């Protein structure tokens, strides 16, 4: 025993010496990198790069924080497995950041932007591989859950925050984004919801270079003569603190934080289905850093907030089922009641989830011969409070007590046929398979999530129903929308909440022996698209040629390969597009069946719902 303790002590001492050596090297490398950044910022030779020359500062911050995280968790959480090796790899990648400096001297603007974006994207994702590998090496059944949660949240924030400044420089906001930001600007500087003076003064030109004509104002005129927004105000209000500090970039960084909360929710919700911590960790790493979450983490849309609120309401309700604490029922109700403030579309999520929860409580109450009036009241009462606030707010600004009055009044001025259609098949196929706007061409890793839905229904029917029914209802609503593709937003905006809800179910497939070839192809393709969207952020938006994808068109111009042609287009679908969709639907069904076959041995959960 004494010999073993001595060997263990010697091993820890050797590892500590190695970490000190690596840390010394890291200090030298990053000090030299800081000197290079200082030179770039003050040298006329780099003026040609414009604001791009300040981006290496974020790379330096990423270097310092990533190394610091590994060192802190090695000591604080005793995550010592492969710590020296992965710390050395992290320092080596830090040295590669010097390449960003050399790319700033490329004289041609387009080539410089593309080359820098690609190098920066590879740098960020290489760092991510190290951080994810470190957590995989140290997370097992006996690992404390607290450090795992903190690691997931802080790594997610770190990666999203590293991508954000490049996304800001690489592409301006478009579609609804400038209008969400304009309302935030008005709240910060004018302290009102009247956008008339903001549109007139062109306040949006701080982040959007074009003039927005009067016909494109996303606003209505109320009886007070004010120009009030048609968009729901929740997102713009939420972004006020960080916008006041750093304008658009501050707002994007705030969205990063909520994106990390969503990423943590994917991990937490997976654990509810009794998967291992490592399987849930794999699920987090696959879905937090692939499209659409990694894209929307730096976009000014309410989708991240809607998805985070939906997932965490499921988590709090699951906790309520486990411990029957009133605060968990109340938290569930609060989370669901605030969702419609961010988008009128989220009424579908709120209404469906509340309906299932009330039904579930009644069923449980009948089994126990005790009507759960308190639980139902705690879940539903926040919605009544939210409706009252809606009535007061909308009566003041829109002169009607109807919730989401901006959209309601706008829809009254439009014929119903201009927004919705009874032909949902093109929209449904498009949301899944469209080459420019579908989820599976940009993130086939969601095959795992679709496959996990069957297993979830078998293990925990009520929890699965709380996920699947709102997700399906939201998808169908998006398919019935004539603008199912979400305008110029990155794909796939109108099913973002649905796919985020489904993402945790993938861990049920990951925890089995899934077919390796299908899994490999789906993961690699999803990661490549995520890297490309990060490297070339302007390709997130398909502006004009909607029958092609901006990313596939850009890659086609660069290397002559148009991968988008293998997928259908449903903006103006032809017969060939339906043939392609049928072929892909057959392939997807086959893949899902293969995944599901590997889980046939999984029995229903014996724990109480």
**Number of folded domains that form the chain:** 2
The whole domain housing 33 covers 2-143
Residue 507: inside a domain: yes
Q: How many residues are there in the chain?
A: 609
Regarding whether 282 and 135 lie in a shared domain, the answer is no
Rounded average pLDDT over 139-167: 94
As a whole number of angstroms, the distance between CA 163 and CA 124 comes to 8
- pLDDT > 70? residue 61: yes
Regarding whether 247 and 134 lie in a shared domain, the answer is no
HEC string of 305-350? Answer: HHHHHHHHHHHHHHHHHHHCCHHHHHHHHHHHHHHHHCCHHHHHHH
Q: Give me the pLDDT at residue 289, please.
A: 97
543 contacts 316 by C-beta, under 8 angstroms: no
Q: Give me the pLDDT at residue 194, please.
A: 95
Residue 385: inside a domain: yes
End position of a domain, from candidates 101, 124, 143:
143
- pLDDT > 50? residue 566: yes
Q: Give me the pLDDT at residue 417, please.
A: 53
| 534 vs 515, residue with greater confidence | 534
Residue 235: inside a domain: no
| 47 vs 239, residue with greater confidence | 239
User: What confidence tier does 370 reach under pLDDT thresholds 50, 70, 90?
Assistant: confident
Residue 201: inside a domain: no
Residue 276: CB atoms within 10 A of its CB come to 16
By C-alpha distance, which of 104, 91, 114 is closest to 49?
A: 104
Mean pLDDT (the chain) is 90
Quote the percentage of the chain above a pLDDT of 70.
95
Regarding whether 403 and 259 lie in a shared domain, the answer is yes
Residue 42: inside a domain: yes
Regarding whether 134 and 259 lie in a shared domain, the answer is no
HEC string of 471-511? Answer: HHHHHHHHHHECCCCCCCCCCCHHHHHHHHHHHHHHHHHHC
Encode pLDDT of 545-559 as tens digits: 667 788 999 998 888
End position of a domain, from candidates 88, 117, 143:
143
- pLDDT > 90? residue 50: no
- pLDDT > 90? residue 380: yes
Q: Give me the pLDDT at residue 18, please.
A: 82
- pLDDT > 50? residue 447: yes
Q: Give me the pLDDT at residue 609, please.
A: 39
Q: Give me the pLDDT at residue 601, please.
A: 55
Residue 212: inside a domain: no
Q: Give me the pLDDT at residue 243, please.
A: 97
Rounded average pLDDT over 156-177: 94
- pLDDT > 90? residue 386: yes
By C-alpha distance, which of 504, 81, 68, 52 is closest to 275?
A: 504
Q: Give me the pLDDT at residue 600, please.
A: 62
Residue 228: inside a domain: no
Regarding whether 459 and 326 lie in a shared domain, the answer is yes
| 331 vs 108, residue with greater confidence | 331
Regarding whether 247 and 139 lie in a shared domain, the answer is no
Regarding whether 467 and 319 lie in a shared domain, the answer is yes
Cα end-to-end span (Å), the chain? 47
Regarding whether 331 and 449 lie in a shared domain, the answer is yes
As a whole number of angstroms, the distance between CA 55 and CA 104 comes to 10
By C-alpha distance, which of 166, 194, 202 is closest to 52?
A: 166
Q: Give me the pLDDT at residue 587, please.
A: 96
pTM score of the predicted model: 0.94
Q: Give me the pLDDT at residue 5, please.
A: 44
- pLDDT > 70? residue 508: yes
Rounded average pLDDT over 582-606: 80
55 contacts 100 by C-beta, under 8 angstroms: yes
User: What confidence tier does 149 reach under pLDDT thresholds 50, 70, 90?
Assistant: very high
Residue 230: inside a domain: no
HEC string of 357-414? Answer: HHHHHHHHHHHHCCCCHHHHHHHHHHHHHHHHHHHHHHHHHCCCCCCCHHHHHHHHHC
Lowest mean pLDDT among 7-11, 115-119, 321-325, 597-601: 7-11
End position of a domain, from candidates 73, 108, 143:
143
User: What confidence tier does 544 reach under pLDDT thresholds 50, 70, 90?
Assistant: low
As a whole number of angstroms, the distance between CA 54 and CA 291 comes to 27
31 burial level (CB within 10 Å; 0-12, 13-18, 19+): exposed
Q: Give me the pLDDT at residue 602, please.
A: 54
- pLDDT > 60? residue 316: yes
């Amino acid at each position: 025993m004494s010999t073993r303790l001595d060997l263990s002590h010697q091993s820890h001492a050797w590892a500590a010496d190695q970490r000190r050596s690596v840390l010394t090297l890291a200090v030298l490398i990053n000090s030299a990198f800081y000197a290079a950044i200082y030179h770039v910022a003050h040298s006329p030779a780099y003026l040609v790069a414009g604001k791009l020359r300040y981006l290496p500062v974020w790379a330096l911050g990423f270097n310092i924080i990533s190394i610091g995280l590994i060192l802190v968790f090695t000591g604080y959480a005793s995550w010592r497995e492969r710590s020296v090796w992965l710390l050395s790899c992290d320092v080596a990648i830090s040295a590669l950041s010097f390449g960003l400096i050399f790319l700033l001297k490329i004289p041609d603007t387009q080539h410089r932007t593309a080359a820098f974006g690609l190098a920066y994207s590879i740098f960020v994702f290489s760092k991510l591989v190290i951080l994810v590998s470190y957590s995989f090496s140290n997370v097992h059944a006996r690992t404390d859950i607290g450090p795992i949660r903190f690691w997931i949240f802080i790594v997610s924030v770190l990666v999203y925050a590293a991508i954000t400044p490049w996304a800001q420089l690489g592409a301006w906001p478009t579609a609804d984004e400038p209008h969400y930001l304009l309302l935030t600007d008005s709240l910060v500087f004018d302290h009102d919801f009247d956008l008339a003076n903001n549109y007139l003064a062109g306040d949006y030109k701080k982040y959007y270079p074009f003039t927005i004509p009067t016909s494109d104002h996303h606003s209505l005129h109320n009886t007070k003569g004010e120009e009030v927004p048609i968009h729901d105000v929740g997102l713009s209000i939420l972004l006020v603190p960080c916008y006041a500090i750093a304008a658009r970039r501050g707002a994007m960084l705030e969205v990063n934080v909520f994106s990390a909360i969503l990423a943590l929710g994917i991990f937490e919700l997976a654990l509810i289905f009794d998967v291992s911590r490592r399987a849930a960790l794999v699920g987090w790493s696959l879905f937090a850093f692939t499209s659409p979450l990694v894209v929307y983490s730096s976009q000014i849309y309410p989708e991240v907030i809607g998805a985070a609120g939906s997932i965490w309401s499921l988590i709090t309700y699951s906790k309520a089922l486990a411990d029957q604490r009133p605060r968990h029922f109340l938290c569930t109700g609060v989370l669901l009641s605030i969702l419609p403030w961010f988008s009128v579309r989220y009424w579908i999520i709120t209404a469906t989830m509340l309906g299932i929860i009330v039904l579930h409580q009644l069923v449980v109450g009948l089994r126990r011969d005790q009507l759960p009036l308190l639980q139902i009241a705690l879940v539903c009462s926040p919605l009544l409070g939210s409706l009252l606030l809606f009535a007061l707010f909308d009566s003041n600004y829109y002169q009607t007590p109807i919730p989401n009055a901006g959209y309601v009044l706008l829809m009254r001025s439009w014929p119903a046929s201009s927004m919705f259609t009874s032909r949902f098949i093109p929209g449904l196929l498009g949301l899944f398979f469209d080459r420019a706007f579908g989820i599976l061409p940009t993130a086939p890793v969601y095959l795992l999530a679709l496959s996990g839905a069957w297993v979830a229904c078998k293990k925990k029917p009520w929890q699965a129903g709380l996920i699947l029914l709102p997700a399906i209802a939201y998808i169908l609503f998006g398919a019935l929308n004539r603008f199912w593709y979400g305008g110029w937003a990155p794909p796939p905006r109108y099913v973002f909440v649905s796919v985020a809800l489904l993402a945790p179910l993938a861990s049920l497939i990951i925890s089995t022996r899934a077919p390796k070839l299908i899994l490999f192809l789906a993961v690699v393709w999803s990661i490549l698209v995520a890297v490309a969207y990060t490297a070339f952020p302007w390709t997130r938006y398909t502006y004009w040629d909607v029958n092609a994808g901006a990313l596939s068109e850009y890659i086609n111009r660069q290397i002559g390969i148009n991968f988008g042609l293998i997928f259908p287009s449903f903006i103006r679908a032809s017969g060939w597009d339906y043939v392609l969709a049928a072929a892909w639907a057959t392939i997807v069904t086959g893949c899902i069946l293969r995944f599901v076959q590997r889980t046939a041995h999984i029995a229903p959960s014996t724990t109480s719902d």
